[in-house]
Amino acid sequence: MPRVLLINANTTPGVTELIERHARAAVGGAVEFKAATAAFGAAYISSEAAYAVAGHAALDCLEREAAGCDAVFLACFGDPGLFALRESAGMPVVGMAEASMREAAKRGRFSIVTGGRAWEPILRRLAQALGYADSLISTRTLPLPGPQLAARPELISEEVEKARKDGAQTVIIGGAALAGLAGKLQSRVALIDSVECAARAAARACSPT
């Protein structure tokens, strides 16, 4: 069975476990996930500095854990270290934000809803680098970090409705700690769960044909 290295670029093992559980459910046993948690850095990425360190931590996970793997799933919304991982990995690397943006852009213009004010400029830069800037209509960030926001789904629903009024045809619910919420929310626009979307993309990367 193909094996995917799942890298959580923050230092919270509980988030790693959450991602792994939803990733496995999303692919239905098509691949095996080998989960790795960052050995250093932030418990939750909430600044440009923490984002930069997370890229280094992701590379460290790759160096320590990549043996025997067929692809890498960078399971951190915002994809810290994505391009460096691609340079170093010698195998496909799927970023959570990139996979979600690609899927959303197929459906038209999209918005992102996530937790943490620092993510707005980071995500806009990433969309520009990946070629999705024209499709990204808005980035709606809430002040609560992802783990706290997961307990307040009504706040996410409010931002999704605002994104719909922005003109978004699809809204990405972005963030590892928000895994599983997209399927529980009622919305008048299509929702993408960033964890589940990227897990399926990582599984496809193991057998691109």
CATH class of 3-95+197-206: alpha beta
- Is residue 33 over pLDDT 90? yes
List the single range of 19-23, 68-72, 93-97, 115-119 with lowest mean pLDDT.
115-119
Residue 202: pLDDT band (50, 70, 90) is very high
Question: How far, CA to CA in Å, does 96 sit from each of 100, 151, 161, 186?
Answer: 6, 21, 23, 23
**Contact between 101 and 128 (Cβ < 8 Å):** no
- Is the distance from CB of 37 to CB of 9 less than 8 angstroms? no
pLDDT at 147: 81
Q: What are the backbone angles phi and psi of residue 34, rounded to the nearest 5°?
A: -110, 110
The rounded distance, in Å, linking the Cα atoms of 147 and 73 is 20
pTM, two decimals, is 0.94
Per residue in 122-157, pLDDT (tens digit) is: 999 999 999 999 999 999 999 888 888 888 999 999
Check: CB of residue 47 under 8 Å from CB of residue 3: no
Give domain 97-195's CATH number out of 3.30.420.10, 1.20.1250.20, 3.30.1950.10, 3.40.50.12500: 3.40.50.12500
Residue 72 has pLDDT above 60, yes or no: yes
